[in-house]
Chains A and B, each alone.
Chain A
Amino acid sequence: SQQGEEDPQALSIQEGENATMNCSYKTSINNLQWYRQNSGRGLVHLILIRSNEREKHSGRLRVTLDTSKKSSSLLITASRAADTASYFCATDTGGYNKLIFGAGTRLAVHP
Chain B
Amino acid sequence: DTAVSQTPKYLVTQMGNDKSIKCEQNLGHDTMYWYKQDSKKFLKIMFSYNNKELIINETVPNRFSPKSPDKAHLNLHINSLELGDSAVYFCASSGRGDGQETQYFGPGTRLLVL
A residues contacting B by CB (< 8 A) are: 2, 30-31, 33, 35, 37, 40-45, 48, 86, 88, 92, 96-101, 103-104
Contact = CB atoms under 8 A, between A and B. Distances in A.
Given A42-B90, A43-B105, A96 B55 contact: yes
A48 B94 CA distance: 14
Interface residues of B, number: 24
A42 B40 contact: no
A97 B106 contact: no
Helix, strand, loop or mixed for chain B's interface? strand
Contact of A48 (B41, B48, B50, B102): B102
B8 to A, nearest CB: 15
Interface in B29-84: 31, 40-45, 48, 50, 55-56
A43 B56 contact: no
A42 B48 contact: no
Helix, strand, loop or mixed for chain A's interface? strand
Contact of B43 (A31, A41, A88): A88
Contacts of B104: 45
